[in-house]
Amino acid sequence: MDEALLRSLTPTVLTVLVRRGADFAAAEDAVQDALIEALRVWPADPPRDAKGWLVTVAWRKFLDQARADSARRRREDLVDEEPTPGPTPDADDTLQLYFLCAHPSLTPSSAVALTLRAVGGLTTRQIAEAYLVPEATMAQRISRAKRTVSGVRFDQPGDVATVLRVLYLVFNEGYSGDVDLAAEAIRLTRQLAGTIDHPEVAGLLALMLLHHARRAGRTAPDGSLVPLAEQDRGRWDTASIAEGIGILQTALARDRLGEFQAQAAIAALHADAFTAEETDWVQIVEWYDELLRLTDNPVVRLNRAVAVGEADGPRAGLAALAALDDLLPRHTAVAAYLHERDGDPETAARLYAEAARKAPNLAERDYLTRQAARLNAGRRR
Mean pLDDT, all residues of the chain: 88
For the segment 29-49, the average pLDDT, to the nearest whole number, is 89
Task: Indicate if 132 and 103 belong to the same structural domain.
Answer: yes
Same domain? 109 vs 160: yes
| pLDDT reading at 73 higher than 80 | no
Within 13 A of 17's CA, how many CA atoms are on the CB side? 34
Q: How confident is the model at residue 330 (pLDDT cuts 50, 70, 90)?
A: very high
pLDDT of residue 91: 43
Which pLDDT band, with edges at 50, 70 and 90, does 71 fall under? very low
Answer with the one of 140, 169, 198 that is the final residue of a domain: 169
CB atoms within 10 A of CB 94: 21
In a domain, 363, yes or no: yes
Domain contains 253: no
Same domain, 116 and 154: yes
Examine residue 102 and state whether it is found in any structural domain, yes or no.
yes
pTM over 0.85: no
Counting beta carbons within 10 angstroms of the beta carbon of residue 326, is it exposed (0 to 12), middle (13 to 18) or buried (19 or more)?
exposed
* Percent of all residues in the chain with a pLDDT value above 90, rounded to a whole number: 53
Domain-located, residue 270? no
- Residue 24 has a pLDDT of 86
134-143, long-range: CB within 8 Å, 24+ apart, which pairs? 138/113, 141/109, 141/110, 141/113, 142/110, 142/113, 142/114, 142/117, 143/25
Cα dist from 283 to 5, 30, 191, 290, whole Å: 42, 52, 31, 11
Alpha-carbon Rg for the chain, nearest whole angstrom, is 25
Q: Which of 81-85, 124-128, 310-314, 361-365 has the highest mean pLDDT?
A: 310-314
The answer on pLDDT for 69 being more than 80 is no
Q: Is the pLDDT reported for residue 298 higher than 90?
A: yes
CATH of the domain at 101: 1.10.10
Domain boundary, last residue among 79, 107, 124: 79
Please name which of 240, 38, 29 lies closest in space to residue 118, comparing C-alpha atoms.
29
pLDDT of 380 > 90? The answer is no
pLDDT at 237 over 50: yes
Q: Is residue 312 in a domain?
A: no
| Domain of 13, in residue numbers | 3-79
Measured in degrees and rounded to the nearest 5, phi and psi for residue 305 equal -60, -40
If one counts the domains in the chain, the total is 3
Asked if residue 67 and residue 39 are part of one domain, the reply reads yes
Domain termination residue (choose one: 54, 79, 104)? 79
